[in-house]
Structure 1
Amino acid sequence: MSRLAYAVALVGGLFLIALIAHTGYRAVLGALAAGGWSLLWLVPYHLVPIGLDAVGWRVLIARRDDDGRAGLGALTWIALVREGVSRLLPVASVGGEIAGIRLLILRGVDGAAATASVVIEVLVSLLSQYLFTAVGVALLIILTQSSETTTEVLIGIALTCPAPIIVLLLLDNARIFQRLERFAERTLGGRNRLTQLLSGGATLDQEIEALIARRWRLVRATLWQFAGMVSGSFEVWLALHLLGHPVSVETAVILESVTLTIRNLAFLVPGGLGVQEAGLMVFGQMLGLSNDAALALSLIKRGREIVMGIPILLSWQIYEARQMRGGSKDKRAHGN
């Protein structure tokens, strides 16, 4: 994690503290206390949206995994690891994706196929996010009759929505990774760490093109990702009901879409510290939700990430350690 990232995280953390202080920490703590231990039900429920995401990922990788090495259970666990790395560890925003690729390879999936599935899955996730945000904005217009803010958001969606589609078109038949590999060799003079990282760029391009050519798989993966985001709205609905601030299903969908959109837009801020809370407070006020309830909701989401993420990350390290021990035994056996 760079010094700039640490600085941004510090500013975000201070901003979060300022929001809590401005709202009143007693009010926020009171809202959290109203939920009590029943809020822990949100932890196992999170397996639902993650599982739906994993189904979409499985749709993409199934053609290159006839042996079932990356089954639904394994992909769900890897998806949780990816989320834990991205949300809790001081790494770049793509750290979770890199960890996911590595775990697929360790399970015996071809490296190019694993990388291609993650690249396309990320783009599909972005497209699903645009669709989900559009639904949230449409519901916001209906519920609040507010045109100024929502119009600006809709314009932003319309202008940026083609981005993942354009990237998909560029990846199709553009041989991007092969070109990057050749460019790195020419620019840096032969083989080096960058060219080693891009080694097999032609194979990776072929895997990506093969996935893009299967349009129905892309549609199915997008729908599963979208379903995962919609199911995540129930987490918001349940949390606010447990806090004593019941909301409608439509409001829960809006708040969940706002949370996901803000975290994606504020990718430079680790964990979206402060930014997520401010966004929920602004849109919560538009929907009649008090600031203390909005802050409590955001803190509950962060608490769930910690409670679920730490054991998952520990299981990842245990798995890595076992793989290393197994590799060492194989080397000694071959040496003898």
Structure 2
Amino acid sequence: MTDQLEAAPPIAATPARSARAPVGRLRGGLILALVAGLGLVTLLVAFVGLGDVTKAVSAIGWRGFALFTTFWLPVMWVTGVAWAAAARSLRSDRIWPFVWARFVRDSAADVLPFSQVGGLVFGARSLIAAGVPERVALASVIVDMTAEIAAQFFYTLLGLGLIAVRLNRALAEPVLWPALIGLSLLFAAGAAVLLAQQRVVGGLGRLARRWLPDSIARADAVGAALEEIYRRPGRVALAVILHLCGWIGGAAASWIALRCMRADTPFWAVVAVESLMYALRNLGFALPGNLGVQEASYALLGPVFGVHSGDALALSLLRRARDLVIGLPVLAIWQWREGRALLRRRTGA
């Protein structure tokens, strides 16, 4: 009997292998994308010149980098307030959970290889852990993402307007078409998110009714929270305006970094470069953190607006370093808080 049991093929082995297969393919895809992004960055550094990039990075110094990093914190605070506005939680005692959730969301997206989806999930989880009702947290994530896409659309339009006003036709044409393609993708993504919100929530509700009866009320609650938010369009418009201020504030941080690198670049040029860079980053959504696409955008767009390619590429690498300096402690604190909450739940049980 023992021999027969040992000789019999394990029934659960095939499903287990089939369940692990998608996970393995996903992991392999992430590794391939990461290697491709790192390879592109390496080629760009070699093309621009390692000496020029190193010189630009060294020129900013520790004080300049600290100023560059510190200036980013109020920019993140503004985007957190925009999220709170989308959730109709502008009371001072309710803003901080959204600001902290924004830090967690961006840190996960910038540091971990999950792209934007993982950041959205972690941000929503942080809100729920802070006591924000689940329906409000999930609905506000959707609305805030829509508001941010709309703000980025206007930001890119601002960059295109600066190109039309400041550059001559010969310099503008090579930049306009890629920027228009990125802007079109951004507009399509925003329209798709806006049009699909109610349908997605409704589809989840129907799926819950069929397979997960306990989740019916939760899906319906998220749909009701979405409707409640959109009944106050002024709050959504405020979220868009705050996000637009955040985009411009990010350009101001980059301008400060370039000034610390002794690059005499006008502020309008930095706004133009960054607005178009973010539009072009949409083309590299499959790469973790848009690795390589961001660097290529800076290196190609910078010289068109009078920014030396070495300075532009150094700025991109400094942005990566800033994301790590902010993101790693934020994720460590978030994990510590999650661990404490889990321990309290287990102790209470």
Q: Same fold (TM over 0.5)?
A: yes
In structure 2, what is the equivalent of residue 24 of structure 1? 49
Q: Normalization by structure 1: what TM-score?
A: 0.88
Does 1:177 pair with 2:195? no
Residues 1-336 of structure 1 correspond to what in structure 2 (within 5 A)?
Answer: 2-38=27-63, 39-62=65-88, 68=93, 71-146=94-169, 147-152=172-177, 153-154=179-180, 157=183, 160-161=186-187, 163-165=189-191, 167-171=193-197, 174=198, 176-183=200-207, 186=210, 190-191=211-212, 200-331=218-349
Work out the CA distance in 1 between the residues paired with 2:182 and 2:322.
30
The residue type equivalent to 1:212 in the other structure is Y
SS at match of 2:87: helix
Is residue 82–residue 100 contact of structure 1 (8 Å, CA) maintained in 2?
yes
Is residue 259–residue 265 contact of structure 2 (8 Å, CA) maintained in 1?
yes
Range with bigger deviation, 214-223 or 280-289: 280-289
SS at match of 1:246: coil
Work out the CA distance in 1 between the residues paired with 2:98 and 2:157.
28
Is residue 125–residue 222 contact of structure 1 (8 Å, CA) maintained in 2?
yes
CA offsets 1:1-48 (integer angstroms, 9 cap, x no match): 521121011011011011111222122111111111122211111112
Q: Normalization by structure 2: what TM-score?
A: 0.85
Displacement of 1:52 in angstroms is 0.8
CA offsets 1:218-261 (integer angstroms, 9 cap, x no match): 11110011011111111111111111112111011112213322
Displacement of 1:93 in angstroms is 2.5
SS at match of 1:46: helix
Displacement of 1:262 in angstroms is 3.0
| C-alpha spacing 1:199/1:96, structure 2 compared with 1 (3 Å) | farther
Work out the CA distance in 1 between the residues paired with 2:341 and 2:185.
45
Work out the CA distance in 2 between the residues paired with 1:3 and 1:267.
17
Is residue 112–residue 203 contact of structure 1 (8 Å, CA) maintained in 2?
yes
CA offsets 1:171-200 (integer angstroms, 9 cap, x no match): 3xx4532323324665xxx33xxx877862
| C-alpha spacing 1:164/1:86, structure 2 compared with 1 (3 Å) | same
Work out the CA distance in 2 between the residues paired with 1:184 and 1:168.
22
SS at match of 2:88: helix
CA offsets 1:82-115 (integer angstroms, 9 cap, x no match): 1110011122421111111111111111111110
SS at match of 1:93: helix
In structure 1, what is the equivalent of residue 14 of structure 2? none
Is residue 107–residue 327 contact of structure 2 (8 Å, CA) maintained in 1?
yes
Gaps of 5+ in 1: 332-336
Displacement of 1:167 in angstroms is 3.5
Is residue 201–residue 219 contact of structure 2 (8 Å, CA) maintained in 1?
yes
Work out the CA distance in 2 between the residues paired with 1:282 and 1:220.
34
Is residue 176–residue 205 contact of structure 1 (8 Å, CA) maintained in 2?
no
| C-alpha spacing 1:197/1:45, structure 2 compared with 1 (3 Å) | farther
Work out the CA distance in 2 between the residues paired with 1:159 and 1:264.
7
Displacement of 1:159 in angstroms is 7.1
| C-alpha spacing 1:108/1:242, structure 2 compared with 1 (3 Å) | same
Work out the CA distance in 2 between the residues paired with 1:266 and 1:228.
22
Displacement of 1:116 in angstroms is 0.2
| C-alpha spacing 1:156/1:316, structure 2 compared with 1 (3 Å) | closer
Compare the two structures and name the one with the higher helix fraction: 2
Work out the CA distance in 2 between the residues paired with 1:136 and 1:176.
33
Work out the CA distance in 1 between the residues paired with 2:174 and 2:216.
43
State the identity %: 28
| C-alpha spacing 1:154/1:290, structure 2 compared with 1 (3 Å) | same
Structure with greater Cα Rg: 2
Range with bigger deviation, 161-170 or 284-293: 161-170
Work out the CA distance in 2 between the residues paired with 1:176 and 1:245.
47
